[in-house]
Structure 1
Amino acid sequence: MTFDLARLMAGDADKYDLHDRYLNTQLVKVLRTIGFDRNYVRGKGQYLYDQDGQRHLDLLSGFGTFAIGRNHPTVIAALQQVLTGELPNLVQLDVSMLAGLLAQRLLGYMPGLDKMFFCNSGAEAVEAAIKFSRAATRRPRILFCEHAFHGLTYGALSLNGDKIFRTGFEPLLPDCTAIPFNSLERLEQELKRGDVAALIVEPIQGKGVNMPSDDYLPEAARLCHKYGALFVADEIQTGVGRTGRFLAIEHWGVDADMVLLAKALSGGFIPVGAVAVKKWVYDKVFDRMDRAVVHGSTFAKNEMAMAAGLATLDVLEDEKLIEHADAIGTEILADLSTFILKHEFVKDVRGKGLMIGIEFGTPRSLSLKAAWALLEQARKGLFCQLITIPLMKDHHVLSQVAGDAMNVIKLLPSLTITQDDRTWIRESFDAAIADSHRVPGAVWDLGKTLAGHSLRARAGAA
């Protein structure tokens, strides 16, 4: 019998029922509660299409994975060539031509870094960075920033600054120390102890789209080098063109000892992670012939992933998507910044390129203050759902809250978005935010419902 994927997917099974029964019941409850339980049947570029033919603008892009858009024909063609080429994949006691070519291409974007290590994901890249830092410096301690997100595997979770992800999994790795983001004073205090292997930091924090001060990253790198520690830039979300540069650290002229990549490098198809490293660090890890395989991963450097990475770089260059992200991102930031004066709830708009955060806060009007306080009392950060849910329901825009218990919505669209999409973003956010200022109103009826859910959930957990 011939395998027929289309027949399987067109069967009577409901995907939400399947996930409820066999996978993550809680996620299904969340999606159904907020009305995000859509049946998408196709993805193309920056758009998702549901079973009714409705087009949705995707401002989430798989947490940044689909930087070049969904189902790009160049990447599909590259993967088809691998599949039909009968390549000798994963021989293990051999080296991959495609991996060598991808390493060469990537390092061309990152002067000062000499070697590449490939893995399967961003979290694996973080795990490698922890090991490489300790091996290179012979020191135990890793510094990370509060509110950071570096992944959910055991080592990466030890560098995660969000309590909701850590709770229930402690104790985590020892010798991992959280410091405030943007605090050079605290960084130097820790470095002076002489036991720090590395600072691992997101140039722009994904959870909250928190921006560094202009001097923070260059000075943090200088201090690390002064005290014999490594400066590691986690560019898993910010890299590969997201912020209008290939790497976000380019905005501040930072010299990193390691750079971590993943997500967008995959072209949205095949999981891939990468660590760009200075040669002296790499040579401390792989220092003898009998240690040639002291760190690795079975599916790292597989031909599909390497081909996807090479094709993705071609798309970025051929379509000038990095330059486009810089230009249109600046325009969208300017559009959304006008809301600060126009709408009481909007407190800040920040970001670089196509990584943008809209922060909401306490309004001035008494009636709005009371409504805000109601939601904050039920659950901090709940207000953002009064924007994201109508954005989906009324404007067909998929967006996300930037982190747990925070009033920030993050925009992370594909770098392929157009001027028409820019208008779509501006007008839909303007309308949704304006509706949130009407108390009483339909949006605040939704707010009461969500607050009730939160209070019942809190009571149940007590």
Structure 2
Amino acid sequence: MSYLFPNYQRKAIELLKGAGNTLTDKEGKNYLDFTSGIGVMNLGYNDPELNQALSDQANLIWHTPNLYENHLQEITAKKLANGKKYISYFCNSGAEANEAAIKLARKATGKSKIITFTNSFHGRTYGAMSATGQASIHTGFTPLVPDFIYVPFNQLTPLESAIDHQTAAVMLELIQGEGGVLPADLIWIQSVQALCQEYGALLIIDEIQTGIGRTGTFYAYEQYQIEPDIFTLAKGLGNGIPVGAMVGKTKLASFFGPGSHGSTFGGNKLAMSVASKVIDRINQPDFLEEVQAKGEALLIGLNEIAKNNLLIEAVRGKGLMLGLVFSDQEVLKQAMEQLEAEGLLTLKAGQTVLRLLPPLTITYEEINQALLIVEKVIDNLKAQKKDKN
């Protein structure tokens, strides 16, 4: 028997070690990782500089409560501000960051209505789950936190009908990750920001998966020429060390005074020592330009595979957050199983999308290796389908 709740559908492999962009299971089999631990390991595995930062801090002190000053939080928050007037609250996960954003939006505006989008994903705690526009995630957990409204993604008219002067915030992902690797339209996003300004609502951008260089800019919102009132981070921020952040404009500071919110472990010194180093490494022009170039190389390769292929309906995404849209769920399931057997780890998004999230340190050689595996598996699936017909 297992002593664990069965809330995860686990694969029958256990990964014991990693180096660079490769993982090794307990049987000694190696896998090229195109999951990054679901968008977490942006700098890959067993990175010497991050290991050293963690070790150095562990030899000093692991934890101090937020009753005392923490210079590592100040240093990391300044780096996250990225030259703009933003301040940070640190927590332990993306869901916690989104919970903080929801609370801040309601307190700062004095309003409770929050608009989010169908097929969105913001986490599984009660506020974050209530913000998530997927009925399957709500099942069995009603009643939800009230006053969340869901409207279609990338459509302006339904949002115009829903937003009013009682709206505290509009909350969205710039690429719906769990919802199918679906990027937001540029003009639509700029119209969303304009509507928020018109009605006195805050714009909250969930950058849990898209932030920290994933899309080729440090924050994905930079590609949309907007400045959110609040944005949230986690995943890649700690490269595997649990850490999240809610980042908001300085004008919101007074609404999160002492006693308004908190976390025992949030911003602990181990997490901050690693997060600060991760930011230093990723938020560099040369590094981010390389992410864009690698993303373009992967996108071109996937489009070439998808060309005139009835099993693949589309390729979409930005940077190193890409999705291969398959014709149906069963084909996707078979593809993922065969890719794993060939030594390539991938993710599912939505019902029919193969999600590819390699570490940002992936090499061109490894990209080509992955493309060869994908092409081989797709050819196998086409042959199997032809044989059945």
TM-score normalized with structure 1 length: 0.80
Q: Match of 2:35?
A: 60
Displacement of 1:198 after TM fit?
0.3
Deviation of the 1:163 alpha carbon: 2.1
1:301-326 deviations in Å (ceiling 9; x for gaps): 21011111111112225794322211
Give 1:216 deviation, angstroms.
1.2
Equivalences for 1:140-289 in 2 at 5 Å?
140-192=112-164, 194-207=165-178, 208-268=180-240, 270-286=241-257
Q: Paired residue for 2:334, among 386, 395, 400?
A: 386
Task: Say whether residues 1:396 and 2:343 are aligned partners.
Answer: yes
Q: Which residue of 1 aligns with 2:294?
A: 328
Structure 1: distance between partners of 2:286 and 2:24: 26
CA contact (8 A) 2:218 2:282 kept: no
User: Is 277-286 or 253-262 further displaced after alignment?
Assistant: 277-286
* Gapped regions of structure 1 (runs ≥ 5): 1-19, 287-291, 362-375, 445-462
Do residues 106 (structure 1) and 80 (structure 2) align?
yes
Give, in whole Å, the separation in 2 of the partners of 1:52 and 1:132: 47
**1:436: which partner in 2?**
381
Shift of 1:197: 0.3
1:417 to 362, 370, 374: 362
Q: Which amino acid aligns with 1:409?
A: L
Amino acid at match of 2:344: V
Match of 2:90 in 1: 118
Does the CA contact (< 8 Å) of 2:311 and 2:331 recur in 1?
Answer: no
Question: Could you tell which deviates more after superposition, 273-282 or 314-323?
Answer: 314-323
The 5-angstrom pairing of residues 13-92 of structure 1 reads 21-25=2-6, 27=8, 30-31=9-10, 36-86=11-61, 89-92=63-66
Would you say the 8 A contact 1:141–1:177 is kept in 2?
yes
- 1:16 alignment partner in structure 2: none
Over the matched positions of the two proteins, sequence identity in percent amounts to 35
Q: Aligned with 1:173: secondary structure?
A: coil
CA distance in 2, matches of 1:160, 1:48: 31
TM-aligned CA deviation for residue 293 of structure 1: 2.6
Preserved CA contact (<8 Å) 2:212 2:219: yes
After the TM superposition, list the runs of 4 or more consecutive aligned residues in structure 1 that deviate by more than 6 angstroms: none
Higher helix share: 1
> SS where residue 390 of structure 1 aligns?
helix
User: Is residue 328 of structure 2 the alignment partner of residue 353 of structure 1?
Assistant: no
The structure number with the bigger radius of gyration is 1
**AA in 2 matched with 1:240:** I
Distance 2:205 2:385 in 1: 46
Letter in 2 for 1:438: A
Q: Secondary structure at the match of 1:22?
A: coil
AA matched with 2:23: L
CA distance in 2, matches of 1:354, 1:51: 28
What residue number does 1:3 align with? none
Q: Is the 8 A contact 1:132 1:282 kept in 2?
A: no
> Which fold has the larger relative contact order, with Cα–Cα distance below 8 Å and residues 6 or more apart in sequence?
2
**Distance change >3 Å, CA 177–CA 83, structure 1 → 2:** same
Q: Say whether the 8 Å CA contact 1:74–1:315 is kept in structure 2.
A: no
Aligned-pair Cα RMSD in Å: 1.9
Aligned with 1:300 (options 244, 247, 266): 266
Q: Aligned partners of 2:129 and 2:242: how far apart in 1?
A: 19
The code of the aligned residue for 1:337 comes to N
User: Partners of 1:24 and 1:400 in 2: how far apart?
Assistant: 22
* Offset of residue 72 of structure 1: 1.5
Q: Give deviations 1:363-396, integer Å, cap 9, x for gaps.
A: xxxxxxxxxxxxx6xxxx2320110000011x20
Provide the rounded CA distance (Å) in 2 between the counterparts of 1:250 and 1:440: 43
Indicate conservation of the 8 Å contact 1:347/1:360, yes or no.
yes
Return the letter of the residue paired with 1:205: Q
1:399-427 per-position Cα deviation (integer Å, ceiling 9, x unaligned): 11113xx1110001100101111111211
Q: Output the amino acid matched with 2:20.
A: G
Distance 1:438 1:151, change over 3 A: same
Deviations 1:151-201 (A, max 9, x none): 000110001122221111111000001011011111121113x21100110
CA–CA distance in structure 2, aligned partners of residues 197 and 157 of structure 1: 18
Distance 1:349 1:261 in 2: 26
The number of equivalent residue pairs is: 388
Unaligned runs of 5+ in 2: none
- The answer to whether the Cα contact below 8 Å between 1:321 and 1:416 also exists between their aligned partners in 2 is no
CA distance in 1, matches of 2:345, 2:270: 29
- CA change 1:71–1:319 in 2 (3 A) is farther
Q: Distance in 2 between matches of 1:43 and 1:68?
A: 12
What is the CA distance between 1:41 and its match in structure 2?
2.3
Superposition TM-score, scaled by structure 2 size: 0.95
Q: What is aligned with 1:17?
A: none
Aligned residue for 2:119, secondary structure, equals coil
